[in-house]
């Protein structure tokens, strides 16, 4: 039990690091300044958890009170700014860390919501939010449609992970810790397989309409 | 009283459905994948109420704990993906449902804030937020300027509805339920008339300046 | 002490006014309607404080309960819509007021977080959020990359102000009020000097990659 939480902590820092790298890289490519890169790195790493904590009433959010998240985000920023060629070399391990972060945040997000006494629906929705919320905020701040809504099995892997946690908690077939480990492994495997085989969710194609034509919106 | 709340419930589901349809349709037109369409449909339906609940300290937000909202959003997504021609045929009824949702969310949003003991300003601002917040989140996620800020009497109808609720509550000329019904009817009528006659709020036109020229912003 | 808080109040209203003017001006340039201009003006003026209050559990947020903020935002909107040439003439004083708002919001934001019993990290992060959050929301709603992340010493001045408040509180070399005044003066001077001399934070330039090319994102 104690060991499991130490393991969680190591995995959480690896995930935080990968999320921060993805934020810093995207921000750097958009030519943000140093503050902007730090801010986006931190928001990707902690944004999902902050939204979850606001929704379950856990104020102040853990992402704001625990300095290791901030330090990891700053290290990721430093690497991305100072040693960008290294970060590009680390592209593949970072994708694996990112899958670790996705799985772990989905599982711990759902567990935290249950722990606060909320129902299964809240736990599932906030598990997914914890896992993907930071990335969505990154894309909104960089004014692009959230990439998780367009392609690849990403949020859906988190969804399945969160559902397994909640089912494990309700059905009690296995202990909560075992359910969490199964959820972690399923979510992680699904994500890695999706990356490897380029699995995508179906996109309902709309041949007639070009984007937004019908709304007559003039995008600024 | 009891009957009124049953009526509210039916209207709320109709409004939720229309909001979710608007989200799913916009997401489909931007070629989001299935997860993205579900997510946007749910966010349009529940996002305004979630922001309201965070602001009044009602955690977890009702939109996350009550499964009917989620189910209605999923049904709307299913229809939009599977039977898009039907959804297009239903364009007009959906606009009427949307006006119902707008009115009801403005009224119930303002009432909930008052019920939590907050003042009239909070109730008015959060009534409007409940009604239009989901649509604003949809537009932000799809990277377009919120349509409610550009054209048509929409948010302003919600504003008038919320103001009537608050005035009714302070002045006590009529019972709270009667004030709510008046607010609903005024907001709904205003919205339907605005749709029919293409009423718009004035837009201060700025002949000299092209958008953003003065800021010298280089948009990413 | 009492006098200091009266002074704070005057400065806060000046800052709120400048923030609202910046919101209303940007919204007007994007051809939003009257409701949209009011909404953006109010969000720039109060958005940062609302996010702070949600994060420290101070619900409902002060920006929603205190009518003077709303009134100042409406006056700024009225001026921007009705007397735009005057607002353009006032460009320079508004920049000074904006620097006042930036400094004061960073300092009072950090102080409020400390006052609620949160740690120094929360106070620093939320001090900066209070100061720049409204401007970030404005840019997100107008679908542009937040300008504070791209250029000029702005958020970093707020960061230094918030750090001084927290250091003053921990080290207790000086009284809290004196630390606040020092923080205000440092942040304000830094911002004004940065404006005058066009100081920028370094932007790591990425010669090889054009924005987003590597992600292969097709922006909607």
pLDDT tens per residue, range C172-220: 777 778 888 899 999 999 999 988 888 777 777 655 444 443 343 333 3
Per-residue pLDDT, averaged over C120-136, amounts to: 93
Cβ-contact A73, A48 below 8 angstroms: no
Q: What is the DSSP letter of B60?
A: S
Give which of A120, A149, A191 to mutate to test B binding, by max B Cβ within 10 Å: A149
- To the nearest whole number, what is the mean pLDDT of chain A? 84
A203 inside domain: no
Cβ-contact B97, B15 below 8 angstroms: yes
Per-residue pLDDT, averaged over B109-118, amounts to: 91
Per-residue pLDDT, averaged over C53-58, amounts to: 92
Per-residue pLDDT, averaged over B35-43, amounts to: 92
Instruction: State the Cα angle at B76 between B127 and B188, rounded to 5°.
Output: 35
Comparing CB atoms, the residue among B30, B204, B219 nearest residue C220 is B30
Give which of B23, B32, B38 to mutate to test A binding, by max A Cβ within 10 Å: B32
* Residue A148, both tokens: 């998780």
pLDDT-derived band at A101 (thresholds 50, 70, 90) equals: confident
* Interacting residues of B159 by C-beta distance below 8 A, sequence separation 6+: B106, B124, B127, B128, C35
* Interacting residues of C50 by C-beta distance below 8 A, sequence separation 6+: B55, C61, C63, C64, C133
A-to-B residue pairs, Cβ atoms closer than 8 angstroms: 110
Query: Could you give the C-alpha distances from C71 to A107, A144, A194, C12, C28, in angstroms and in order?
Result: 45, 34, 53, 13, 19
Query: Could you give the C-alpha distances from C45 to A48, C63, C131, C135, in angstroms and in order?
Result: 25, 8, 10, 8
B185 inside domain: yes
Residues of A in contact with C140 (CB under 8 A): 140-141, 143
Q: Which chains sit next to C, with 3 or more Cβ pairs under 8 A?
A: A, B
* Interacting residues of C196 by C-beta distance below 8 A, sequence separation 6+: none
Residues of B in contact with A149 (CB under 8 A): 27, 32-33, 35-36, 39-40, 141
Q: Which chains sit next to B, with 3 or more Cβ pairs under 8 A?
A: A, C
Cβ-contact C183, C164 below 8 angstroms: yes
Spatial distance between the Cα atoms of C97 and C188, rounded to a whole number of angstroms: 10
The DSSP secondary structure of B88-108, one letter per residue, reads HHTHHHHHHHHHHHHHHHHHH
Lowest mean pLDDT among B13-27, B80-94, C92-106: B80-94
Cβ-contact A63, A20 below 8 angstroms: no
Comparing CB atoms, the residue among C125, C145, C148 nearest residue A142 is C145
Return the closest-CA partner of residue B133 out of B169, B167, B158.
B158
Spatial distance between the Cα atoms of B134 and B152, rounded to a whole number of angstroms: 17
The pLDDT tens digits for A135-149 are 899 999 998 888 888
pLDDT-derived band at A85 (thresholds 50, 70, 90) equals: confident
With an 8 Å Cβ cutoff, are B145 and C60 in contact? no
At residue B20, the pLDDT reads 92
CB count, 10 Å around CB of C157?
27
Higher confidence at residue A185 or residue C199? A185
Spatial distance between the Cα atoms of A116 and A58, rounded to a whole number of angstroms: 9
A179 inside domain: yes
What torsion do the CA atoms of B79, B83, B84, B88 make, to the nearest 10 degrees?
-90
Spatial distance between the Cα atoms of C215 and C98, rounded to a whole number of angstroms: 36
Largest CA distance in chain B: 58
Spatial distance between the Cα atoms of B27 and A215, rounded to a whole number of angstroms: 12
With an 8 Å Cβ cutoff, are C35 and B201 in contact? yes
Angstroms from B137 CA to nearest CA on chain C: 9
Instruction: State the Cα angle at B132 between B155 and A220, rounded to 5°.
Output: 80
Count H helices and E strands in chain B, helices first: 9, 0
Residues of C in contact with A143 (CB under 8 A): 140, 143-145, 219
pLDDT-derived band at C110 (thresholds 50, 70, 90) equals: very high
* Residue C198, both tokens: 């066009």
What torsion do the CA atoms of C133, C135, C136, C142 make, to the nearest 10 degrees?
150
Higher confidence at residue C56 or residue A216? C56
* Residue B19, both tokens: 């909001």
C215 inside domain: no
Angstroms from C28 CA to nearest CA on chain B: 7
C217 inside domain: no
* Residue A72, both tokens: 């990891």
Spatial distance between the Cα atoms of A3 and B159, rounded to a whole number of angstroms: 55
ipTM: 0.84
Cβ-contact C76, C20 below 8 angstroms: yes
A77 inside domain: yes
Residues of C in contact with B48 (CB under 8 A): none
B-to-C residue pairs, Cβ atoms closer than 8 angstroms: 106
With an 8 Å Cβ cutoff, are C150 and A36 in contact? yes
With an 8 Å Cβ cutoff, are B28 and A206 in contact? yes
What torsion do the CA atoms of B127, A53, A148, B146 make, to the nearest 10 degrees?
20
Name the interface residues of A facing B (CB cutoff 8 Å): 30-31, 54-57, 113, 118-119, 121-122, 125-126, 136, 140, 142-146, 148-151, 155-156, 159, 200-206, 209, 211-215, 217, 219-220
Higher confidence at residue A25 or residue A213? A25
Q: Which residue of A has its CA nearest to B61?
A: A55
* Residue C146, both tokens: 């937040």
With an 8 Å Cβ cutoff, are A31 and C211 in contact? yes
B150 CB-side CA count, 13 A = 18
Per-residue pLDDT, averaged over C136-165, amounts to: 88
Comparing CB atoms, the residue among B33, B64, B144 nearest residue A122 is B64
The pLDDT of residue A41 is above 90: yes
Comparing CB atoms, the residue among C64, C84, C144 nearest residue B125 is C64
Per-residue pLDDT, averaged over A210-214, amounts to: 42
> How many separate domains does chain B show?
1
At residue A207, the pLDDT reads 52
pLDDT-derived band at C158 (thresholds 50, 70, 90) equals: very high
B78 inside domain: yes
Cβ-contact B73, B46 below 8 angstroms: yes
Q: Give the residue numbers spanning the domain of B122.
A: 2-197
Lowest mean pLDDT among B31-40, B57-66, B75-84, C208-217: C208-217
Q: Is the pTM of this model over 0.80?
A: yes
Spatial distance between the Cα atoms of C75 and A44, rounded to a whole number of angstroms: 37
A218 inside domain: no
pLDDT-derived band at C163 (thresholds 50, 70, 90) equals: very high
Q: Which chains sit next to A, with 3 or more Cβ pairs under 8 A?
A: B, C
């Amino acid at each position: 039990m104690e060991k499991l939480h130490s393991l969680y902590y190591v995995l959480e820092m690896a995930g935080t690091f990968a999320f921060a790298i993805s934020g810093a890289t995207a921000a750097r490519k958009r030519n943000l300044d140093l503050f902007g890169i730090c801010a986006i790195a931190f928001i990707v790493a902690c944004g999902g958890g902050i939204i979850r904590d606001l929704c379950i009433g856990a104020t102040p959010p853990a992402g704001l009170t625990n300095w290791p998240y901030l330090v990891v985000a700053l290290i990721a920023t430093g690497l991305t700014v100072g040693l960008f060629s290294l970060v590009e070399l680390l592209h593949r391990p970072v994708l694996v860390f990112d899958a670790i972060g996705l799985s772990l945040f989905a599982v711990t997000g759902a567990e935290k919501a249950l722990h606060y006494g909320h129902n299964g629906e809240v736990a599932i929705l906030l598990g997914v939010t914890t896992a993907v919320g930071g990335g969505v905020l990154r894309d909104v701040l960089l004014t692009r449609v959230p990439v998780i809504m367009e392609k690849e099995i990403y949020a859906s892997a988190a969804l399945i992970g969160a559902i397994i946690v909640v089912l494990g908690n309700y059905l009690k077939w296995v202990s909560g810790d075992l359910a969490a480990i199964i959820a972690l492994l399923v979510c992680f495997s699904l994500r890695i397989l999706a990356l490897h085989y380029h699995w995508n969710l179906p996109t309902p194609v709309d041949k007639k309409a070009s984007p937004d034509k019908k709304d007559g919106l003039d995008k600024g």
